[in-house]
Amino acid sequence: MMKGFHPFHKSWMFFSLMMMLFIVGSSSWFSLWVLFEIFGWFFIGFLSKKGDSFYHSITLWKIFFFSFLSSSVIFLSFSLSSNQVLDSPFLTLVFILGVMMKMGVPPFHGWVVVVSENLPMSSFFLFNFFLKFGPVLTSVFFLDFYWQFTVLIILLAFGSVGGWNLYSTHRFLVYSSMSNLSWVFSSLISGKVLFVAYFLSYSMVFFLFLKFLTGVNDSKISSPSHFPSEVNQKMVFILGVMNIMGVPPFWLFFVKFSVIESILCSSIFLALLLISFTVVFMYMYIGFFSNQLFSKPNFVKKSLSNPSLFWMICLFSGMGFISVLL
């Protein structure tokens, strides 16, 4: 078992999955709001077991403050509305600001970037995936296409350009998840089945890559010396980044292709925006693994801390080849 993913983490991830199922089955805004609060409090309790340093305490307070503030804004928007419906543009705008703040998307992404810097990789995955699931579904349930499209454009623009010239793995992963969140919104516009397929696929790819980074203790990308130099670790690293990029013939590419194919039936302009901003974001991906790709490999045999992870990533990456044949 890899460092940082002990049984307590697995239990908390199981609890997170159950909370996601409850969120999907919620029938009103109030039940969603209550589930947000329960989820947030449990996550803060989970982080409190990770350490007691000064910087860790500051991180907990930041998460608590912005979670409380965003939840208050969401509650206010529905409290001022009639019949639990956002019946005015002002209340809709207030609701959007609260949801965007809770998701940590531009222009409220600064606190997420700072907090993520101080989180271990295991907590990072929970913070940037499970806690965003509910707000994404809420925005789809209570917003029309115009407002969804507006949020999507903001995500695409800031997510693809804001991540340039980064020297931190945590910051890179934050902007990467932000960019892929725009694809999540696009898949939701197309249909809930496609949304579930994309969310689960990207979560699995991202989770495997984070487990690998936890094993090699990688934290910076400014120098090739900070990357793993063993051949097998270099291979896993490059496969993981290319899979997150969604380039052919890797699995995530075919999921994105299905999203584009579905969107083309309703909005060619939106499909062009997704493709254009994704190409712009490729610059950051290339910069992230170019040092690893062109650095001198170390041919000294050294096994991975979890050998099965190597085959899991290779198998999941190779699923793209199977998709070509189907």
List pLDDT tens digits, range 188-233: 776 777 877 888 788 888 888 877 777 665 444 444 445 555 667 7
**Cβ-based neighbours of 264, under 8 Å, separated by 6 or more:** 271
- Same domain (yes/no): 128, 59: yes
Our separate counts of H helices and E strands in the chain read 14, 0
Q: How many domains does the chain have?
A: 2
| Distances from the Cα of 105 to the Cα of 109, 158, 170, 179, 241, angstroms | 5, 9, 15, 10, 22
Among residues 313, 319, 320, which one has the least CA distance to residue 209?
313
Predicted confidence (pLDDT) at residue 322 exceeds the cutoff of 50: no
Q: Which amino acid is at 20?
A: M
Predicted confidence (pLDDT) at residue 46 exceeds the cutoff of 60: yes
Q: How far apart are CA 203 and CA 207, in angstroms?
A: 6
- Same domain (yes/no): 220, 91: no
- Same domain (yes/no): 250, 106: no
Burial of residue 287 (number of CB atoms within 10 Å: 0-12, 13-18, 19+): middle
Q: Which amino acid is at 61?
A: W
Domain end (from 143, 170, 187): 143
- Same domain (yes/no): 172, 201: yes
Residues of the domain holding 289: 146-326
Mean of all residue pLDDT scores within the chain: 71
Mean pLDDT of 261-281: 80
Burial of residue 209 (number of CB atoms within 10 Å: 0-12, 13-18, 19+): buried
Domain end (from 78, 113, 143): 143
Q: How far apart are CA 77 and CA 111, in angstroms?
A: 22
Among residues 27, 241, 206, 59, which one has the least CA distance to residue 130?
206
Whether residue 249 is preceded by a cis peptide bond, meaning omega within 30 degrees of 0, is yes
Domain end (from 97, 128, 143): 143
- Same domain (yes/no): 116, 153: no
Q: What percent of the chain has pLDDT over 70?
A: 63
3-state secondary structure of 220: strand
- Same domain (yes/no): 130, 170: no
pTM of the model: 0.76
Give the residue, 112 or 134, on which the prediction is more confident: 112
- Same domain (yes/no): 102, 179: no
Predicted confidence (pLDDT) at residue 114 exceeds the cutoff of 70: yes
- Same domain (yes/no): 80, 163: no
Burial of residue 243 (number of CB atoms within 10 Å: 0-12, 13-18, 19+): buried
| Distances from the Cα of 175 to the Cα of 26, 118, 153, 166, 209, angstroms | 29, 16, 15, 10, 15
